[in-house]
Amino acid sequence: MRRIYLDHGATTPLDPRVLDEMLPYLREVFGNPSSAHAFGREAREGVEKARIRVARALNADPREIVFTSGGSEANYLAVRGAAYANRDRGNHIVASRIEHHSVLDTCLDLAEHGYEVSWVPVNEDGIVDPRKVAALLRPTTILVTVMLANNEVGTIQPVREIAALARERGVLCHTDAVQGFGKMAVDVQNLGVDMLSISAHKIYGPKGAGALYLRAGTRWQPLNHGGGQEARRRPGTENVPGIVGLGAAAALAVAELEHETAQVRVLRDRLVSEVLRRIPGARLSGHPVRRVPHNAHFCFEGVAGGALLAGLDAAGVAVSAASACAAGSGTPSHVLQAMGFADELAAGALRVTLGRGNTAADVDLFVETLERLVEKARQKAPSSGRN
Protein backbone atom coordinates (compact mmCIF):
# COMPACT_ATOMS: atom_id res chain seq x y z
CA MET A 1 0.00 0.00 0.00
CA ARG A 2 1.27 3.45 -0.91
CA ARG A 3 1.52 5.54 2.24
CA ILE A 4 1.01 9.30 2.14
CA TYR A 5 2.21 11.60 4.88
CA LEU A 6 0.11 14.76 5.25
CA ASP A 7 0.90 15.56 8.89
CA HIS A 8 3.95 17.82 8.65
CA GLY A 9 2.52 20.03 11.40
CA ALA A 10 3.05 17.14 13.82
CA THR A 11 6.58 16.41 12.66
CA THR A 12 8.63 16.23 9.48
CA PRO A 13 10.96 13.53 8.17
CA LEU A 14 14.66 14.20 8.63
CA ASP A 15 16.08 15.77 5.46
CA PRO A 16 18.90 13.48 4.20
CA ARG A 17 21.15 16.54 3.88
CA VAL A 18 20.56 17.28 7.56
CA LEU A 19 21.30 13.67 8.46
CA ASP A 20 24.57 13.83 6.50
CA GLU A 21 25.67 16.81 8.56
CA MET A 22 24.68 15.11 11.81
CA LEU A 23 26.32 11.73 11.17
CA PRO A 24 29.91 12.72 12.01
CA TYR A 25 28.63 13.98 15.38
CA LEU A 26 26.95 10.63 16.05
CA ARG A 27 30.08 8.74 15.06
CA GLU A 28 33.58 10.13 15.39
CA VAL A 29 33.00 13.62 16.85
CA PHE A 30 31.83 12.45 20.25
CA GLY A 31 33.68 14.90 22.52
CA ASN A 32 32.05 16.96 25.22
CA PRO A 33 31.94 20.55 23.95
CA SER A 34 33.07 21.72 27.40
CA SER A 35 36.26 19.60 27.33
CA ALA A 36 39.54 21.48 26.95
CA HIS A 37 41.06 19.16 24.35
CA ALA A 38 40.81 18.55 20.62
CA PHE A 39 37.85 16.12 20.97
CA GLY A 40 35.92 18.75 22.92
CA ARG A 41 36.93 21.57 20.60
CA GLU A 42 35.66 19.67 17.54
CA ALA A 43 32.27 19.19 19.17
CA ARG A 44 32.25 22.83 20.30
CA GLU A 45 32.92 23.92 16.71
CA GLY A 46 29.83 21.99 15.56
CA VAL A 47 27.67 23.66 18.23
CA GLU A 48 28.96 27.14 17.49
CA LYS A 49 28.58 26.75 13.75
CA ALA A 50 24.96 25.75 14.36
CA ARG A 51 24.47 28.77 16.61
CA ILE A 52 25.70 31.06 13.83
CA ARG A 53 23.37 29.38 11.33
CA VAL A 54 20.32 29.64 13.57
CA ALA A 55 21.15 33.26 14.40
CA ARG A 56 21.52 34.07 10.72
CA ALA A 57 18.23 32.37 9.89
CA LEU A 58 16.45 34.58 12.45
CA ASN A 59 18.54 37.74 11.85
CA ALA A 60 19.86 37.58 15.41
CA ASP A 61 23.28 37.65 17.04
CA PRO A 62 24.66 34.15 17.79
CA ARG A 63 25.00 35.11 21.47
CA GLU A 64 21.23 35.53 21.58
CA ILE A 65 20.57 31.87 20.72
CA VAL A 66 19.98 29.37 23.55
CA PHE A 67 19.75 25.74 22.47
CA THR A 68 16.99 23.72 24.11
CA SER A 69 15.40 20.27 23.88
CA GLY A 70 12.73 21.63 21.51
CA GLY A 71 9.92 24.12 21.12
CA SER A 72 8.17 23.18 24.36
CA GLU A 73 11.24 23.86 26.47
CA ALA A 74 11.98 27.11 24.63
CA ASN A 75 8.42 28.28 25.35
CA TYR A 76 8.61 27.21 28.94
CA LEU A 77 11.98 28.94 29.47
CA ALA A 78 10.74 32.13 27.81
CA VAL A 79 7.49 32.50 29.75
CA ARG A 80 8.63 31.33 33.16
CA GLY A 81 12.11 32.91 32.93
CA ALA A 82 10.57 36.30 32.06
CA ALA A 83 7.85 35.94 34.71
CA TYR A 84 10.35 35.21 37.49
CA ALA A 85 12.88 37.84 36.45
CA ASN A 86 10.27 40.60 36.34
CA ARG A 87 8.30 39.73 39.45
CA ASP A 88 9.47 42.95 41.12
CA ARG A 89 7.90 44.95 38.26
CA GLY A 90 4.57 43.19 38.12
CA ASN A 91 2.73 39.88 37.96
CA HIS A 92 0.50 40.23 34.93
CA ILE A 93 0.88 38.18 31.74
CA VAL A 94 -1.13 38.47 28.53
CA ALA A 95 -1.41 35.35 26.38
CA SER A 96 -3.62 34.39 23.47
CA ARG A 97 -6.32 31.77 23.90
CA ILE A 98 -4.91 29.67 21.08
CA GLU A 99 -1.36 29.13 22.36
CA HIS A 100 0.30 25.72 22.30
CA HIS A 101 -0.07 23.87 25.58
CA SER A 102 3.57 24.50 26.51
CA VAL A 103 2.71 28.22 26.76
CA LEU A 104 -0.89 27.79 27.88
CA ASP A 105 -0.20 25.40 30.74
CA THR A 106 2.88 27.32 31.88
CA CYS A 107 0.69 30.42 32.16
CA LEU A 108 -1.99 28.44 34.01
CA ASP A 109 0.61 27.18 36.45
CA LEU A 110 1.96 30.69 37.00
CA ALA A 111 -1.62 31.82 37.65
CA GLU A 112 -1.71 29.37 40.53
CA HIS A 113 1.44 30.88 41.98
CA GLY A 114 0.73 34.56 42.32
CA TYR A 115 0.64 35.69 38.69
CA GLU A 116 -2.41 36.97 36.85
CA VAL A 117 -3.06 35.94 33.27
CA SER A 118 -5.36 37.71 30.81
CA TRP A 119 -6.35 35.70 27.76
CA VAL A 120 -6.67 37.57 24.48
CA PRO A 121 -9.50 36.21 22.37
CA VAL A 122 -9.34 35.46 18.65
CA ASN A 123 -11.98 36.17 16.04
CA GLU A 124 -13.87 33.44 14.18
CA ASP A 125 -10.96 33.18 11.73
CA GLY A 126 -8.55 32.48 14.59
CA ILE A 127 -6.74 35.82 14.54
CA VAL A 128 -5.79 38.04 17.48
CA ASP A 129 -6.69 41.72 17.24
CA PRO A 130 -3.72 43.80 18.51
CA ARG A 131 -6.18 46.37 19.87
CA LYS A 132 -7.53 43.69 22.19
CA VAL A 133 -3.98 43.06 23.43
CA ALA A 134 -3.51 46.81 24.00
CA ALA A 135 -6.75 46.96 25.97
CA LEU A 136 -5.50 44.27 28.36
CA LEU A 137 -2.16 45.88 29.20
CA ARG A 138 -1.86 47.22 32.74
CA PRO A 139 0.92 48.93 34.70
CA THR A 140 1.71 45.50 36.20
CA THR A 141 1.96 43.68 32.82
CA ILE A 142 5.40 42.11 32.39
CA LEU A 143 4.94 39.80 29.41
CA VAL A 144 2.85 39.37 26.28
CA THR A 145 3.03 36.01 24.50
CA VAL A 146 1.26 35.42 21.19
CA MET A 147 2.25 32.66 18.77
CA LEU A 148 3.37 33.49 15.23
CA ALA A 149 1.40 30.73 13.47
CA ASN A 150 -1.17 28.48 15.06
CA ASN A 151 -0.51 24.74 15.06
CA GLU A 152 -4.09 23.71 14.34
CA VAL A 153 -5.62 26.18 11.91
CA GLY A 154 -2.34 27.72 10.70
CA THR A 155 -3.41 31.34 11.18
CA ILE A 156 -0.64 33.93 11.16
CA GLN A 157 -0.86 36.39 14.02
CA PRO A 158 0.01 40.11 13.86
CA VAL A 159 3.04 39.62 16.10
CA ARG A 160 4.89 42.66 14.76
CA GLU A 161 2.06 44.99 15.78
CA ILE A 162 1.66 43.25 19.14
CA ALA A 163 5.41 43.45 19.87
CA ALA A 164 5.45 47.16 18.97
CA LEU A 165 2.69 48.02 21.38
CA ALA A 166 4.24 45.88 24.13
CA ARG A 167 7.56 47.64 23.60
CA GLU A 168 5.91 51.07 23.83
CA ARG A 169 4.72 50.11 27.28
CA GLY A 170 8.01 48.54 28.36
CA VAL A 171 6.48 45.04 28.33
CA LEU A 172 8.42 41.99 27.08
CA CYS A 173 7.06 40.12 24.07
CA HIS A 174 7.55 36.43 23.29
CA THR A 175 6.35 34.55 20.24
CA ASP A 176 6.17 30.81 19.68
CA ALA A 177 7.41 30.56 16.08
CA VAL A 178 7.55 26.75 16.02
CA GLN A 179 4.88 26.51 13.30
CA GLY A 180 5.88 29.69 11.47
CA PHE A 181 9.61 29.19 11.04
CA GLY A 182 10.34 27.52 7.71
CA LYS A 183 6.88 28.46 6.37
CA MET A 184 7.31 32.23 6.33
CA ALA A 185 10.09 34.80 6.78
CA VAL A 186 10.99 35.03 10.47
CA ASP A 187 13.16 38.02 11.33
CA VAL A 188 13.44 38.95 14.99
CA GLN A 189 14.40 42.55 14.16
CA ASN A 190 11.42 42.98 11.89
CA LEU A 191 9.08 41.31 14.37
CA GLY A 192 10.56 43.32 17.25
CA VAL A 193 10.11 40.49 19.75
CA ASP A 194 12.33 39.93 22.79
CA MET A 195 12.01 36.15 22.74
CA LEU A 196 11.13 33.61 20.05
CA SER A 197 10.94 29.81 20.08
CA ILE A 198 11.74 27.34 17.29
CA SER A 199 11.91 23.56 17.00
CA ALA A 200 14.08 21.42 14.70
CA HIS A 201 11.65 18.58 14.02
CA LYS A 202 9.09 20.84 12.36
CA ILE A 203 11.66 21.92 9.75
CA TYR A 204 13.07 18.55 8.64
CA GLY A 205 15.55 18.46 11.51
CA PRO A 206 15.85 15.97 14.38
CA LYS A 207 13.44 15.64 17.29
CA GLY A 208 14.59 16.85 20.69
CA ALA A 209 16.35 20.01 19.52
CA GLY A 210 15.16 23.59 19.47
CA ALA A 211 16.21 27.09 20.35
CA LEU A 212 15.11 30.16 22.20
CA TYR A 213 16.06 33.53 20.77
CA LEU A 214 16.71 35.78 23.74
CA ARG A 215 17.33 39.40 22.77
CA ALA A 216 20.49 40.83 24.37
CA GLY A 217 19.61 42.75 27.53
CA THR A 218 16.23 41.04 28.05
CA ARG A 219 15.29 40.85 31.72
CA TRP A 220 15.11 37.08 31.99
CA GLN A 221 16.47 34.44 34.34
CA PRO A 222 17.46 30.82 33.85
CA LEU A 223 15.34 28.13 35.44
CA ASN A 224 18.00 25.48 35.90
CA HIS A 225 21.35 25.89 37.57
CA GLY A 226 24.55 23.96 37.95
CA GLY A 227 26.30 24.17 34.60
CA GLY A 228 27.91 26.88 32.55
CA GLN A 229 26.57 25.72 29.19
CA GLU A 230 24.68 28.11 26.93
CA ALA A 231 26.26 31.02 28.81
CA ARG A 232 24.64 29.76 32.05
CA ARG A 233 21.18 30.12 30.52
CA ARG A 234 20.49 26.41 30.01
CA PRO A 235 22.85 24.05 31.83
CA GLY A 236 23.56 20.47 30.79
CA THR A 237 25.86 18.83 28.26
CA GLU A 238 24.68 19.86 24.83
CA ASN A 239 22.81 17.55 22.44
CA VAL A 240 25.55 18.06 19.86
CA PRO A 241 24.13 16.01 16.94
CA GLY A 242 20.68 17.52 17.55
CA ILE A 243 22.05 21.05 17.62
CA VAL A 244 24.10 20.43 14.46
CA GLY A 245 20.91 19.09 12.84
CA LEU A 246 18.93 22.15 13.92
CA GLY A 247 21.60 24.43 12.42
CA ALA A 248 21.59 22.53 9.12
CA ALA A 249 17.79 22.40 8.97
CA ALA A 250 17.47 26.13 9.77
CA ALA A 251 19.95 27.05 7.03
CA LEU A 252 18.05 24.91 4.50
CA ALA A 253 14.68 26.25 5.64
CA VAL A 254 15.78 29.79 4.88
CA ALA A 255 17.62 28.97 1.63
CA GLU A 256 14.62 27.05 0.27
CA LEU A 257 11.82 29.06 1.81
CA GLU A 258 10.63 30.78 -1.33
CA HIS A 259 10.70 27.72 -3.56
CA GLU A 260 9.21 25.43 -0.96
CA THR A 261 6.38 27.68 0.16
CA ALA A 262 5.41 28.34 -3.47
CA GLN A 263 5.29 24.59 -4.10
CA VAL A 264 3.24 23.62 -1.05
CA ARG A 265 0.91 26.58 -1.51
CA VAL A 266 -0.09 25.33 -4.97
CA LEU A 267 -0.74 21.83 -3.59
CA ARG A 268 -2.60 23.16 -0.54
CA ASP A 269 -4.80 25.41 -2.65
CA ARG A 270 -5.64 22.50 -4.94
CA LEU A 271 -6.47 20.36 -1.92
CA VAL A 272 -8.70 23.01 -0.33
CA SER A 273 -10.63 23.78 -3.49
CA GLU A 274 -11.16 20.10 -4.30
CA VAL A 275 -12.35 19.25 -0.78
CA LEU A 276 -14.78 22.17 -0.73
CA ARG A 277 -16.02 21.39 -4.24
CA ARG A 278 -16.50 17.66 -3.80
CA ILE A 279 -17.59 17.22 -0.19
CA PRO A 280 -20.89 18.78 0.84
CA GLY A 281 -20.90 20.29 4.34
CA ALA A 282 -17.10 20.72 4.34
CA ARG A 283 -15.86 23.97 5.76
CA LEU A 284 -12.34 25.44 5.81
CA SER A 285 -11.43 26.66 9.30
CA GLY A 286 -9.07 29.53 10.00
CA HIS A 287 -8.41 32.56 7.85
CA PRO A 288 -8.68 31.95 4.09
CA VAL A 289 -5.32 33.63 3.31
CA ARG A 290 -3.60 34.68 6.53
CA ARG A 291 -2.35 31.18 7.18
CA VAL A 292 0.89 29.26 6.69
CA PRO A 293 1.10 27.85 3.15
CA HIS A 294 1.16 24.15 4.04
CA ASN A 295 -1.89 24.10 6.31
CA ALA A 296 -5.48 23.19 5.51
CA HIS A 297 -8.00 22.59 8.28
CA PHE A 298 -11.55 21.42 7.74
CA CYS A 299 -14.66 20.65 9.68
CA PHE A 300 -17.26 18.27 8.29
CA GLU A 301 -20.81 18.61 9.46
CA GLY A 302 -22.16 15.48 11.06
CA VAL A 303 -18.93 13.47 10.77
CA ALA A 304 -16.44 12.75 13.57
CA GLY A 305 -12.86 13.73 12.73
CA GLY A 306 -11.57 10.72 14.66
CA ALA A 307 -13.50 8.33 12.39
CA LEU A 308 -12.14 10.05 9.29
CA LEU A 309 -8.63 9.95 10.69
CA ALA A 310 -8.92 6.22 11.34
CA GLY A 311 -10.38 5.58 7.87
CA LEU A 312 -7.64 7.60 6.22
CA ASP A 313 -5.01 5.83 8.30
CA ALA A 314 -6.37 2.45 7.20
CA ALA A 315 -6.03 3.70 3.60
CA GLY A 316 -2.41 4.69 4.26
CA VAL A 317 -3.00 8.45 4.53
CA ALA A 318 -1.71 10.23 7.65
CA VAL A 319 -3.43 13.42 8.77
CA SER A 320 -4.37 14.80 12.18
CA ALA A 321 -7.76 15.15 13.85
CA ALA A 322 -6.46 18.20 15.71
CA SER A 323 -2.89 19.19 16.50
CA ALA A 324 -0.65 16.26 17.41
CA CYS A 325 -0.65 17.31 21.01
CA ALA A 326 -4.43 17.51 21.39
CA ALA A 327 -5.02 14.39 19.31
CA GLY A 328 -6.20 11.47 21.35
CA SER A 329 -6.92 13.63 24.38
CA GLY A 330 -10.66 13.35 23.75
CA THR A 331 -11.21 16.97 24.74
CA PRO A 332 -12.41 19.49 22.17
CA SER A 333 -9.68 21.67 20.74
CA HIS A 334 -9.21 24.86 22.77
CA VAL A 335 -8.30 26.62 19.51
CA LEU A 336 -11.59 25.79 17.81
CA GLN A 337 -13.46 26.63 21.00
CA ALA A 338 -11.74 30.02 21.11
CA MET A 339 -12.85 30.55 17.50
CA GLY A 340 -16.44 29.93 18.58
CA PHE A 341 -16.95 26.49 17.02
CA ALA A 342 -19.73 24.41 18.51
CA ASP A 343 -18.33 21.18 20.02
CA GLU A 344 -20.20 19.12 17.44
CA LEU A 345 -18.55 20.89 14.51
CA ALA A 346 -15.14 20.93 16.24
CA ALA A 347 -15.44 17.14 16.62
CA GLY A 348 -15.31 16.83 12.83
CA ALA A 349 -12.00 18.69 12.56
CA LEU A 350 -9.25 17.43 10.31
CA ARG A 351 -5.85 19.07 9.89
CA VAL A 352 -3.86 18.44 6.73
CA THR A 353 -0.30 19.75 6.63
CA LEU A 354 1.73 19.33 3.45
CA GLY A 355 5.47 19.13 3.09
CA ARG A 356 8.52 18.90 0.86
CA GLY A 357 7.88 15.36 -0.33
CA ASN A 358 4.21 15.71 -1.33
CA THR A 359 2.93 15.68 -4.90
CA ALA A 360 -0.32 16.50 -6.70
CA ALA A 361 -1.00 12.74 -6.85
CA ASP A 362 -0.89 12.63 -3.04
CA VAL A 363 -3.44 15.43 -2.86
CA ASP A 364 -5.74 13.74 -5.36
CA LEU A 365 -5.60 10.41 -3.58
CA PHE A 366 -6.31 12.12 -0.26
CA VAL A 367 -9.36 13.94 -1.65
CA GLU A 368 -10.76 10.78 -3.26
CA THR A 369 -10.30 8.76 -0.09
CA LEU A 370 -11.79 11.48 2.08
CA GLU A 371 -14.80 11.88 -0.17
CA ARG A 372 -15.49 8.18 0.04
CA LEU A 373 -15.10 8.11 3.84
CA VAL A 374 -17.33 11.12 4.48
CA GLU A 375 -20.03 9.63 2.27
CA LYS A 376 -19.78 6.31 4.09
CA ALA A 377 -19.91 7.94 7.52
CA ARG A 378 -23.00 9.90 6.55
CA GLN A 379 -24.73 6.81 5.17
CA LYS A 380 -24.16 5.13 8.52
CA ALA A 381 -25.59 8.08 10.44
CA PRO A 382 -28.15 9.68 8.15
CA SER A 383 -29.85 11.48 11.02
CA SER A 384 -26.75 13.51 11.87
CA GLY A 385 -27.71 15.83 9.02
CA ARG A 386 -25.72 18.07 6.74
CA ASN A 387 -27.84 21.15 6.65
Residues acting as catalytic residues? 325
Nearer to ligand PLP, 143 or 282 (CB): 143
**Position 327 contacts ligand PLP (CB under 6 A):** no
100 is a site residue for ligand PLP (CB under 6 A): yes
Gap between the Cα atoms of 170 and 166, Å rounded: 6
Question: Does 80 help bind ligand PLP (rule: CB under 6 A)?
Answer: no
Go through 293-310 and write b for each residue having 16 or more CB atoms within 10 A of its CB, e for each that does not: bbbbbbbbbbbbbbbbbe
CA distances from 309 to 113, 150, 268, 320, 379 (A): 39, 20, 18, 7, 17
Q: Determine if 286 is a binding residue for ligand PLP (CB under 6 A).
A: no
Count CA atoms within 13 Å of residue 378 on its CB side: 17
CB neighbours of residue 135 within 10 Å = 11
- The amino acid that residue 333 corresponds to is S
Nearer to ligand PLP, 272 or 292 (CB): 292
The C-alpha atoms of residue 198 and residue 209 are separated, in whole angstroms, by 9
Closer residue to ligand PLP in complex, CB, 264/370: 264
C-alpha separations of 118 from 76, 104, 108 in Å: 18, 11, 10
Strands laid side by side in the 65-68 sheet: 65-68, 210-214, 195-199, 172-176, 141-145, 92-96, 116-120
Q: Which is nearer to ligand PLP, 10 or 374 (CB)?
A: 10
Tell me the helices (H) and strands (E) count for the chain, helix number first: 13, 12
Positions in 174-203 near ligand PLP (CB under 6 A): 176, 178-179, 199, 201
Choose the stretch contacting ligand PLP; rule: CB under 6 A; options: 64-72, 87-95, 230-238, 346-354: 64-72
Task: Figure out which of the listed residues 4, 18, 147, 191 binds ligand PLP, where binding follows CB under 6 A.
Answer: 147
Site string for ligand PLP, 208-247 (x = CB under 6 A): --x-------------------------------------
Does residue 325 touch ligand PLP according to CB under 6 A?
yes
Is residue 8 close enough to count as binding ligand PLP by CB under 6 A? no
Indicate the residue among 98 and 163 with the shorter CB distance to ligand PLP: 98
Tell me whether residue 57 or residue 282 sits nearer to ligand PLP (CB atom). 57
For the chain, the maximum distance between any two Cα atoms, rounded to a whole number of angstroms, is 73
| Contact status, residue 160 vs residue 132, Cβ threshold 8 Å | no
* Residue selected from 96, 102, 145, 285 as contacting ligand PLP according to rule CB under 6 A: 102
Distance of closest approach, residue 81 Cβ to ligand PLP, in angstroms: 16
Question: From the list 52, 324, 327, 365, which residue makes contact with ligand PLP (rule: CB under 6 A)?
Answer: 324
| The one among 33, 70, 126, 332 contacting ligand PLP by CB under 6 A | 70
CB of 207 to ligand PLP, least distance (A): 7
CA dihedral (79, 80, 82, 86) in degrees, to 10, reads 130
Given the rule CB under 6 A, which residues bind ligand PLP? Answer: 70-72, 75, 100, 102, 147, 151, 176, 178-179, 199, 201, 210, 324-325
